[in-house]
């Protein structure tokens, strides 16, 4: 499958990313599910499609443990199970057990382990097929008048929707007024604190929003969807219905029309929102059928959720478009306004050609990004993810000088440390000054001193003591 390789973890140390010993963090959705009640989860596990999708989001060792237990009728003694893992696997194994227990897939028990019966029967059904749950989506009848949309049209649609959202975010506050996404999307962006109401009714991107822009699309998508899930409860939508619909979408097939007949009222209401995000496409708003886009079908996989970015469309952008030289010069082979706008966050753009943008990474441009809340690592991982194929021949991929400099600029920002305290001045005599200063030094609260001006700066914690000391002394002097 062609397309940009989307990394879930930020790039950087390749040794880390190849680590399979369960040290990768769990998927965001898994973390969200762990916070749900057992009741909710058990209802969710009634659908085979939900089980299959959740299973795919688990870490490799967790998946294997589930598979080992899936076909057993009897509970397995904990000691037998512990013998399955090698010595190096001990810690990941216990982590995996803990995660599965929190998901209520494998209830915690000191003696014997058996899968949650609901999960077990649904998962078996998912793998062997059959049953009558219809949870994998009902295809709509073939209709000669309205053939299902072709994959290219779906991709273009998804991309257009998604980029509208991102482009709206990135260009907010710059004086440009690009196409506005729908009201629902705007509300979601505001709720997720990616954008905030600054003055009056203009939405402005927040520092979380800037960070969001540099994330890979897959992560962005889940970030919004999780926010959507949290919102669902407030909107009196049943969380289980919402979740199982999303998970069902992830098992559907690209380029097929699905029928709305089996959907509940909540799920029908969701269609409108998902249409705004670009997850599904409907011919008209009142259509009885919908087709999932690539954004939806790749929810539980790590293959790229978005097709080749628009623009020249010759596929070169799928492989990245950024060339970065050791002299901090950056060439981006793109004419996509979104990509240019994102680059503009941390690059001073110099000139623009029909298919090429040339810019320079400067101290000012990086500092601007840093003040927006973007970290140096995020900049670097964005550059790595979108590096041009030509760059991939280099080892290391990005010039070390540039990487280091970006990190140094970040450190520079952290150069000044602020600490609250009090300045003591106007001592009557040098002896007075030294006497108080000595006392303060004994308390270890002096942050700065200047003998010639007879003043010193003490931290907040020491203030009460020093003040008491001075007062006692002046009282004694007066007496």
| Cβ–Cβ under 8 Å, residues 8 and 302 | yes
d(C-alpha 158, C-alpha 298), whole Å: 12
- The reply on whether position 130 binds another protein by CB under 8 A is yes
Stretch touching another protein by CB under 8 A, among 10-18, 33-41, 112-120, 433-441: 10-18
Decide: 274 and 296 in contact? Cβ < 8 Å.
yes
Q: Which span (77-85, 145-153, 155-163, 182-190) binds another protein, by CB under 8 A?
A: 77-85
Sign of the dihedral defined by the CA atoms of residues 217, 218, 222, 225, in that order = positive
Q: Does 333 bind another protein (CB under 8 A)?
A: no
Q: Which is nearer to another protein, 61 or 189 (CB)?
A: 61
* SS3 label, residue 83: coil
Radius of gyration of the chain (CA): 29
Segment contacting another protein (CB under 8 A): 78-86, 155-163, 268-276, 344-352? 78-86
Q: Is 468 near another protein (CB under 8 A)?
A: no
Q: Which stretch binds another protein (CB under 8 A): 20-28, 150-158, 324-332, 406-414?
A: 20-28
Is 90 or 453 the residue whose CB approaches another protein more closely? Answer: 90
Q: What angle do CA 422, 428, 432 make, to 5 degrees?
A: 75
Does 334 interact with another protein (rule: CB under 8 A)?
A: no
Pick from 99, 135, 206, 310 the residue near another protein by CB under 8 A. Answer: 135
Binds another protein by CB under 8 A, chosen from 26, 36, 49, 365: 49
Q: Does 26 bind another protein (CB under 8 A)?
A: no
Contact pick of 99, 298, 378, 403 for another protein (by CB under 8 A):
298
Rounded-to-integer distance, Cα 268 and Cα 367, Å? 46
How far apart are CB 80 and another protein at their closest, in Å?
12
Contact call for residue 134 and another protein (CB under 8 A)? yes
* 121: Cβ contacts below 8 Å, ≥ 6 apart: none
Residue from 4, 181, 311, 421 binding another protein (CB under 8 A):
4
Q: Which is nearer to another protein, 216 or 421 (CB)?
A: 216
Cα–Cα dist 316/386, whole Å:
11
What is the spatial distance between Cα 300 and Cα 322, in angstroms, rounded to a whole number?
28
Q: Which helix (H) or strand (E) holds 363?
A: helix 363-371
Question: Exposure pattern of 300-339 as b/e (b: 16+ CB <10 Å)?
Answer: beeebbbbbbbbbeeebbbbbbbbbeeebebbbbbbbbbb
Q: Interface with another protein includes 138 (CB under 8 A)?
A: yes
Residues that bind another protein (CB under 8 A): 1-5, 7-9, 14, 17-18, 20-22, 24, 48-49, 52, 55-56, 59-61, 63-64, 67-68, 70-72, 83-86, 88-89, 92-93, 125-139, 251, 253, 262, 298, 300-303, 318-320, 389, 392
């Amino acid at each position: 499958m062609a397309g940009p390789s989307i990394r879930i973890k930020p790039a950087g140390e390749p040794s880390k990313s190849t680590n399979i010993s369960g040290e990768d963090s769990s998927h965001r959705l898994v973390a969200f599910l762990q916070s749900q009640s057992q009741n909710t989860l058990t209802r969710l596990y009634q659908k085979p499609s939900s089980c299959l999708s959740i299973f795919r989001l688990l870490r490799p060792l967790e998946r294997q443990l589930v598979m080992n237990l899936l076909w057993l009728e009897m509970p397995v003694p904990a000691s037998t199970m512990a013998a399955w893992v090698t010595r190096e696997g001990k810690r990941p194994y216990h982590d995996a057990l803990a995660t599965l227990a929190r998901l209520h897939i494998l209830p915690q028990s000191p003696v014997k382990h058996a899968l949650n019966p609901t999960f077990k029967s649904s998962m078996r059904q998912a793998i062997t097929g059959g049953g009558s749950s219809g949870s994998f989506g009902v295809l709509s009848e073939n209709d000669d008048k309205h053939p299902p949309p072709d994959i290219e049209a779906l991709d273009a649609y998804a991309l257009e929707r998604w980029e509208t959202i991102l482009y709206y975010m990135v260009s907010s506050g710059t004086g440009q007024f690009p196409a506005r996404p729908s009201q629902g999307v705007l509300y979601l962006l505001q709720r997720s604190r990616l954008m905030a109401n600054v003055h009056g009714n203009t939405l402005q991107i927040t520092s979380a929003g800037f960070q969001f822009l540099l994330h890979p699309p897959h992560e962005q998508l889940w970030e919004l969807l999780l926010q959507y899930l949290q919102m669902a409860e407030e909107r009196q939508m049943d969380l289980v219905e919402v979740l199982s619909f999303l998970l069902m979408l992830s098992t559907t097939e690209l380029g097929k029309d699905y029928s709305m007949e089996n959907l509940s009222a909540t799920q029908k209401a969701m269609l409108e929102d998902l249409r705004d995000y670009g997850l599904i496409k409907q011919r008209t708003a009142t259509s009885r059928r919908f087709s999932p886009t690539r954004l939806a079908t790749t929810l539980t996989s790590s293959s790229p959720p978005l097709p080749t970015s628009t623009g020249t469309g010759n596929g070169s952008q799928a492989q990245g478009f950024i060339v970065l030289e050791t002299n901090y010069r950056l060439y981006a082979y793109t004419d996509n306004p979104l990509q240019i706008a994102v680059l503009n966050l941390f690059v001073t753009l110099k000139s623009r050609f029909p298919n090429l943008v040339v810019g320079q990474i400067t101290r000012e441009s990086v500092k601007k990004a840093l003040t927006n809340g973007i970290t140096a690592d995020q900049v670097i991982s964005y550059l790595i993810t979108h590096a041009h194929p030509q760059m991939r021949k280099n080892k290391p991929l990005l010039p070390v000088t540039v990487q280091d400099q970006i990190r140094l600029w970040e450190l520079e920002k952290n150069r000044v440390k602020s600490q609250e305290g009090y300045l003591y001045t106007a001592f009557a005599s040098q002896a007075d000054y030294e006497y108080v200063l000595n006392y303060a030094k004994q308390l270890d609260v002096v942050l700065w001193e200047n003998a010639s001006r007879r003043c010193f700066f003490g931290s907040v914690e020491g203030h009460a003591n020093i003040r008491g000391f001075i007062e006692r002394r002046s009282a004694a002097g007066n007496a």
